Amino acid sequence: MNETSLRRLLERALVNEPPIGPVARNSLRAGLRLRRRRRAWAVAGSAAVVAAIAASVPAVSGALGHMPSAPGPGPSNRGRGTTVYVDNGANTVTPITVATNTAGRSVKAGDGAGLIAITPDGRTAYVANANSNTVTPITTATNTPGKPIRVGRYPDGISITPDGRTAYVANINSNTVTPITIATNTPGRPIKVGVRPRMIAITPDGQTAYVVNQGGTVTPIMTATNTPGKPIRVGSGPLVIALTPDGKTAYVLNGRDTVTPITTATNTPGRPIKVGKFPFAIAITPNGKTAYVVNLDSGTVTPITTATNTAGKPIRVGTEPQAIAITPDGKTAYVPNYASGTVTPITTATNAPGKPIEVGGGPLAIAITPDGKTAYVVCNASGTVTPIATATNTPGRQVKLGNGLFAIAITP
């Protein structure tokens, strides 16, 4: 990892962080958060516990993003071509056109640009800017940034309702969540939640947003009124959350090598499920039958049968796995391994890992196109984005973007 990237990760990791939990996003994003915190604490001589971006998305995890859902109101961006948006570490976001696999001109975001969420209609990408306490809206049709939206202190996780009307932003240092009305890009009154909110997952019906507070709780927010419910106690140092496609169960990754299932009908936590060391990211199959948990320090992925909440035999992948994404047909899960410079494909029917795919240095985030044909892998150390043809599991020509790559999101 280059000096700029490491400094950025440490900077984010040390924001009001006691020695209890990890740092990730998209998604993919939650998993990365766990890694950041762990490394930062190691540098500081503190105990490290892991927690990512992951993402609460069946198709993408490792660098936090919004949940895929039905199109929002207004004209759709569909038909203009699928676009990949990558935070490139210079307070900008770079669009990559999938049809040609070419990078466009970088779009200016704010100071500390990080996690990205895209509206269900694909018209707008929202970028959380941690250092400037803002969110930048980007019009995807023209890739032009709009006026920064003021939110709370150190915004991090961001998620959008399935109807595309509201974006919710977790503000780490304010212990609040800011709702943003997408039609006007105006922030609403901050919603008080728990200590150090990091990630948000929204139920498929859009009625409840679940906020992971690293202090050890999950706060449900009723989106109709933007009122927080009673905090749900989970494990130590939680950061990552994923919802089943039917919205009935939320899975929360805890720093103490467990996953806590929450029954959303009653908001009651179930018995913690033991997984591998430092659970880092999670993705759930489109049919909702299996949750796959990436264990950073074990170099494994633990499958959880959601019907019984039982963990299966760990699947061996590469060294320091960072994230996970599952194809829309649910047949294959892809796991980037940071230290190995590879992505491991897993056949979900048998839970058998395939031959590692060489992608570049330091892969830490991944997202799959809506048609399932291509997986895009963000490689932090090599400053590249590598496309993988899922039909053959072969890597394509790398897109060179430069140092400090961090988060990824793809238009619907």
CATH of the domain at 322: 2.130.10.10
Give a yes or no: residue 411 inside a domain: no
Given a cut of 90, whether residue 30 has pLDDT beyond it is: no
Proportion of the chain above pLDDT 70, given as a percent: 81
Residue 1 has pLDDT above 80, yes or no: no
Alpha-carbon gap, residue 360 to 377, rounded angstroms? 9
What is the rounded CA–CA span in Å between residue 129 and residue 154?
7
Residue among 290, 254, 258 nearest 274 (CA): 258
Whether 333 and 324 have beta carbons less than 8 Å apart is answered as yes
Cα 317 to Cα 333: distance, rounded to the nearest angstrom? 11
Q: Which residues contact 52 (CB under 8 A, 6 or more apart)?
A: 22, 23, 24, 25, 27, 28, 29, 30, 31, 32, 33, 34, 35, 61, 62, 63, 64, 199, 239, 240, 253, 280, 281, 322, 323
In a domain, 129, yes or no: yes
Pick the closest to residue 306 from 357, 270, 277 (CA basis): 270
In contact, 250 and 218? CB cutoff 8 Å = yes
What's the pLDDT score for residue 249?
98
In 3D space, the residue among 336, 348, 352 whose CA is nearest the CA of residue 395 turns out to be: 336
150: CB partners within 8 A, 6+ apart? 133, 134, 187
Q: What is the Cα–Cα distance from 382 to 375, expressed in whole angstroms?
A: 17
User: What mean pLDDT value characterizes the chain?
Assistant: 85
Query: pLDDT digit string (tens) for 231-284?
Result: 999 999 998 999 999 999 999 999 889 999 999 999 999 999 999 999 999 999
Sequence-distant (6+) residues with CB within 8 A of 18 are none
Range of the domain at 290: 3-69+107-364
Neighbouring-strand partners of residue 220: 210
Whether residue 374 is contained in a domain is answered as no
DSSP-derived pairing of the beta strands 273-274 and 258-263: antiparallel
Amino acid at the residue 342 = T
> What pLDDT score does 88 carry?
85
**Domain assignment of residue 251, yes or no:** yes
DSSP conformation class of 22: -
Within-domain flag for 177 = yes
Torsion of CA 348, 238, 226, 61, to 10 degrees: -30
Number of C-beta neighbours around residue 256 at 10 A? 16
The beta strands (E) that lie in 182-229 are given as: 186-187, 191-192, 197-202, 208-213, 217-222, 227-228
- Indicate the residue type of 95: P
Angle at 108 between CA 106 and CA 114, to 5 degrees: 95
Answer yes or no: is 383 within a domain: no
Please give the structure tokens belonging to residue 160: 């959008």
CA distance 8 to 72: 34
SS3 13: helix
pLDDT of residue 239: 86
> Confidence band (pLDDT; 50, 70, 90) for 28?
very low
Q: How many domains, the chain?
A: 1
Region 15-22: mean pLDDT is: 33
Question: Which of 152, 179, 154 is closest to 168 using CA atoms?
Answer: 179
Q: What is the pLDDT of residues 80-134, one digit of tens each?
A: 589 999 998 789 999 999 999 999 999 999 999 999 999 999 999 999 999 999 9
Share of the chain above pLDDT 90, in %: 78
Which of helix, strand or coil describes residue 316? strand
Are 365 and 29 within 8 A, CB to CB? yes
| Res 302 pLDDT > 50 | yes
Backbone angles phi, psi at 359, to 5 degrees: -125, -30
pLDDT of residue 404: 84
Asked if residue 275 belongs to a domain, the reply is yes
- Greater confidence, 131 or 32? 131
Note the pLDDT of residue 263.
98
- Domain membership flag for residue 369: no
Lowest mean pLDDT, pick from 201-210, 338-347, 357-366, 397-406:
397-406
Mean of pLDDT values over 200-225: 98
Residue with tokens 């905090």: 231
213-235 tens-digit pLDDT: 999 999 999 999 999 999 999 99
pLDDT at residue 77 is higher than 80: no
- The yes-or-no verdict on residue 27 having pLDDT over 50 is no
**Residue found under tokens 């994923």:** 242
Q: Is 101 exposed, middle or buried (0-12, 13-18, 19+ CB in 10 A)?
A: middle
Cα distance between residue 212 and residue 244, in whole Å: 16
The amino acid present at 377, given as its one-letter code, is: V
Tell me how far apart the alpha carbons of residues 64 and 222 are, in angstroms, rounded to a whole number: 21
* Count of CB atoms situated within 10 Å of the CB of 18: 13
